[in-house]
Amino acid sequence: MSPSLSDDRPLYHQLADSFAEAIHQGTLKPGKRLPAIRRVAQTRQISINTVLNAWQLLEDRGLIEARPQSGYYVRSVLPAVTPPAPHRARIKDPSSEKLDLIDQVFAAQNHPDYINISLACPQDGELYPSARLGRITASLLRRSPDLIGRYALPPGSERLREEIARRALHGGMSLTSDAITLTHGCMEALQLALRAVTQPGDCVGLESPTYFFLFPLLASLGLKALEIPTDPQHGLSLDALEMLLQEKRIQALIAMPSAQNPLGCCMSRQNKQRLATLVNAYQVPLLEDGLYDELQFDWPLSPAVKSFDSDGWVIYCTSFTKTVAPDFRIGWIAAGRFHEAVARLKAVSSMAESRLLSETLAEFLANGGYDHHLRTLRRRYAANMDEARGLIARYFPQGTRATLPRGGFVFWVELPQRVDTVAMFRRLLQEQICVTPGALYSLSERYNHALRLSCCYPFDERYTWALKRTGAIACELAGLAPGNDQGLPLRPQTV
């Protein structure tokens, strides 16, 4: 890996090539941090600028990436998922088989003995600020035992809503606490918004692929789903959306413009602005699901579509499920022009959130180090994503593609077309491994060869084995060798 004096290419080129070789040969593995620039300069007796130029060259080649305040890391070499072939959006109801499959996957996800490499819920105690929350809750109860003796009627804890309004500024949203209603998770926020803006029989536009619980949610409200083409890198197709709006084919739209589930993609700021302009111009409500917004890897965060909302047609829905505590079930909604209607529906839905947990969360947001916690999560998920993609590149069949998310902890993997991932899901359950098949994320058959995977778990021997084993079964079903011909991984004794 040493630059040679007999080579007449610039030194930085030689240095970049020697590191590129180490990356290609697997000596430097995806997700690994490159040595510090100053150290490389010292040990090789070259200038810091030479090393910097080499790193920039490697970055241009897509081999490494810079992470703010952390250094340079090796990227994985998986090919990207290609945009879907253009398809005409069709209205559909979920078939009973699809709803059954959702139930089966949900049951498997809840099985305590399964190794879940798909679950969109952090599976490591360290990923939640449990100790700090415990201290705050205990102290609150000690000081105000009456907290648990009263309802926090809608719109919910004033202090928490003030904290939320303050934090919403990071997403470019200037909201007052009065514009916010607390909800029972993001799911209730979405449901209240749908009930406020649609009538049974209406049609709701969705990204394709999309979060699979939206299908039963729409069906339960008598609503129809219309899937809109979504680019794995750039998000919802705004041209397709504009056509649907012109033809008045949808009465509402649900989208995840940042760190979309399952693709992980983020829309550009410009596209977010255009999306806000479109829904305001056509007066069709957008339910912006911002669940992963605070987990975008880039800081400052890319703004929410809601921040460009001129006339209140964007309804922002989110929760603290992915960042603080899924068990708290605390979410919120800023429903714009539908605020009153949503607040009334909330009162006759789940009525109130827990006062104790709302005040605990408010105190944590105000003084508990939430920003530090978020920075740790972002760094960790970005590194985990590389680690997972690196394993997939090595152990999944040749021709496997994956998305390269810019936030969150879920991503999308497309296997060779002949692999039926529902069959694969069933096969993996026999080995107590749980994945979510692509068929769940659409009412079409378009994604029957895809999987949604996640990386919010520790990369210990158990999870690493499950990922390799999933790759091995995919190779078997595809009749293809793994990406780098390593052979099938065996189950380690300790698993």
Read off the DSSP letter of residue 63.
Answer: S
439: contact with ligand PLP by CB under 6 A: no
Q: Does 331 bind ligand PLP (CB under 6 A)?
A: yes
What's the token pair of residue 224?
């129809």
By C-alpha distance, which of 469, 463, 479, 459 is closest to 415?
479
- Cβ nearer to ligand PLP, comparing 226 with 259: 259
User: Binding segment for ligand PLP among 179-187, 218-226, 227-235, 462-470 (CB under 6 A)?
Assistant: 179-187
Least distance from ligand PLP to the Cβ atom of residue 230, Å: 13
Amino acid identity for residue 329 in this structure: R
211 binds ligand PLP (CB under 6 A): yes
What the block records as the tokens of 37 is 């620039």
| Minimum CB distance to ligand PLP, residue 309 (Å) | 19
User: Minimum distance between the CB of residue 36 and ligand PLP, rounded to whole angstroms?
Assistant: 37
Among the candidate windows 88-96, 182-190, 272-280, 477-485, which touches ligand PLP by CB under 6 A? Answer: 182-190
Among 233, 258, 296, 321, binds ligand PLP (CB under 6 A): 321
Q: Does 187 bind ligand PLP (CB under 6 A)?
A: yes
Nearest C-alpha neighbor of 334 from the set 155, 159, 213: 155
Contact region with ligand PLP (CB under 6 A), list: 105-113, 183-191, 242-250, 483-491: 183-191
Looking only at residues 212 through 241 of this chain, which bind ligand PLP when binding is defined by CB under 6 A?
Answer: none
The yes or no reply on residue 120 touching ligand PLP (CB under 6 A) is yes
Contacts of 260 (CB under 8 A, 6+ apart): 207, 230, 235, 266, 292
Least Cβ distance, residue 456 to ligand PLP (angstroms): 11
Shortest separation between residue 119's beta carbon and ligand PLP, angstroms:
9
DSSP notation for 30-61: TTPBPPPHHHHHHHHT--HHHHHHHHHHHHHT
Those residues whose C-beta lies under 8 Å from the C-beta of residue 217, and which sit 6 or more positions away, are: 187, 190, 191, 194
Q: Does 319 bind ligand PLP (CB under 6 A)?
A: yes
Residue 257 CB, nearest approach to ligand PLP (Å): 11
Residue 386 token pair: 């590389």
Interface residues for ligand PLP in 63-82 (CB under 6 A)?
none
Q: Minimum distance from CB of 115 to ligand PLP (Å)?
A: 19
Q: Tell me the closest approach of the beta carbon of residue 260 to ligand PLP, in angstroms.
A: 8
DSSP secondary structure of 90-159: -EE---HHHHHHHHHHHHHHT-TTSEESS-SS--SGGGS-HHHHHHHHHHHHHH-GGGGGS-B-TT--HH
Residues 275-294 that bind ligand PLP (CB under 6 A): 289, 291
Binding track, positions 451-480, relative to ligand PLP; x by CB under 6 A: ------------------------------
Chain residues that interact with ligand PLP, rule: CB under 6 A = 120, 185-187, 211, 256, 261, 289, 291, 319, 321, 326, 331
